[in-house]
Amino acid sequence: AGSKTYGPMYTFHLGSRPCVVLSGYQVLKEALIDKAEEFSGRGDFPAVQMWSKGNGIVYGTGERWRQLRRFAIGTLKNFGMGKRSMEQRIKEEAQFLVAEFRKTQGQPFDPTFFLSCAGSNIICSLVFGERFEYTDEAFLTLLDLINKQSFSLLPQLLFVFPNIMKWVPGPHQRIYANYLKLAKFVGERLEMNRQSLDPNSPRDFIDCFLIKIQQEKGNPSSHFNEDTMAKTTVNLFFAGTETVSSTLRYGLLILLRHPEVEEKLHEEIERVIGDNRAPCMDDRSQMPYTDAVIHEMQRYANIVPMGVPHTVTRDIEFRGYSLPKDLNVIPLLCTSQSDPTQFRNPNTFDPTHFLDEAGRFRKREAFLAFSAGKRVCLGEGLANMEMFLFLTTILQNFRLKALMDPAAIDLTPESTGLGSIPRPYQFCLLPQ
């Protein structure tokens, strides 16, 4: 709403600090893509800084961030972020998820827990080299920590009023405590990996990091140490668990509201995949409607509306304004996804936003669910694989049944600070 009042760029003060907000596709593109380097700094969230001190991928800054990111992308690629092995893991997890869903026997249930388990297990298999049963104690503790952390309004207040909030008791103190618990969990896994490490055949992300630490031992200015490793790993969990599971949960609710869309998805799945084999990523190119629906789910659900704050890396001129180095910049990604000059019906769920006249899938520049430029989301390829394989596997096995008239389903999100999540709901899955 701010941009309607203030235009595509406006400044407001967070406590004592000026902060520039960017909104609308045009200005976001100019900043994040055309001037990617200048806008690639990371704003500081005091709640996170208390713990991460600029370490890790999501909140790291400067040269350390560049090296970590390069390493993470390389490692995740080797473990098949976008390669076969990762696809295999997601396909397996999708079958475990379907098996859990079967146990509901067509009775009403809330999918939140199962979808979180599935999303988190993908990150576990990447980082720890293994998945967990949905009943595993350690795994459930981990999930609980991530859930508590991800969608809390207080971190935003902490970002705004760091000096005051340090002294105010409340959930942000718990955020810090949760980070420490998560780091402890990661630390224990790290120790297990170290005991059985074979430098010639790394099993997972942690092994790769341990090997890298060994290689850099003689380099005093190296950014690779156990502290950075724990923080990077925790970052991967936060970034990778809730985002996919919340989008899927929103996606299923959208399908309950639009049974005609679900019907078309079933037709495409039946035509391209049939029911004798599991869906795989090669199917996607032949399934433009499904691809469009998934993109539209991400656009409409807008799970991370704000984008994580950036900072300007040097003094620059931008759109006639002088922006000083280290100025905080908030890219309102949601304003690109709902920009009426880019999407015909921005406030309506409409898969044709991502289809051309001939029904082929079409990419949209204004689709910024994963941000853009130097800070584009590390997990974009992984998230898209999960969305495609989880959704098609669920729909290959079940039909969705709403507990009320579809037209009465409320799609307005519960806004919880940093993210939009769908209101809790129940539905039935009927095996087919």
Residues making up the annotated binding site for heme are: 377
290: DSSP letter:
H
**β-bridge partners, 14:** 17
Query: Which candidate, 269, 304, 257, places its Cα nearest to that of 404?
Result: 257
Quick one: CA torsion of 14, 17, 22, 23, rounded to 10 degrees? 20
Contact present, 222 and 216 (Cβ < 8 Å): yes
Contact present, 146 and 419 (Cβ < 8 Å): no
Dihedral of CA 396/402/403/409: which sign? positive
Dihedral of CA 280/285/287/293: which sign? positive
Where would I find the H helices in 7-136?
25-29, 46-52, 62-78, 84-102, 112-127
Q: How far apart are CA 134 and CA 287, in angstroms?
A: 31
Q: How far apart are CA 267 and CA 104, in angstroms?
A: 25
- Is 372 in a helix, a strand, or coil? coil
Contact present, 125 and 385 (Cβ < 8 Å): no
Q: How far apart are CA 195 and CA 187, in angstroms?
A: 13
3-state secondary structure 166-195: CCCCCHHHHHHHHHHHHHHHHHHHHHHHHH
Contact present, 244 and 119 (Cβ < 8 Å): yes
CA atoms within 13 A on the CB side of 312: 21
What would the two tokens of residue 195 be?
């005991």
Q: How far apart are CA 47 and CA 417, in angstroms?
A: 14
CA atoms within 13 A on the CB side of 411: 19
Annotated binding-site residues read 377
Q: How would you list the strands of the sheet with 17-23, edge to edge?
A: 9-14, 17-23, 328-332, 310-311, 41-42
Pairing relation of β-strands 310-311 and 328-332? antiparallel
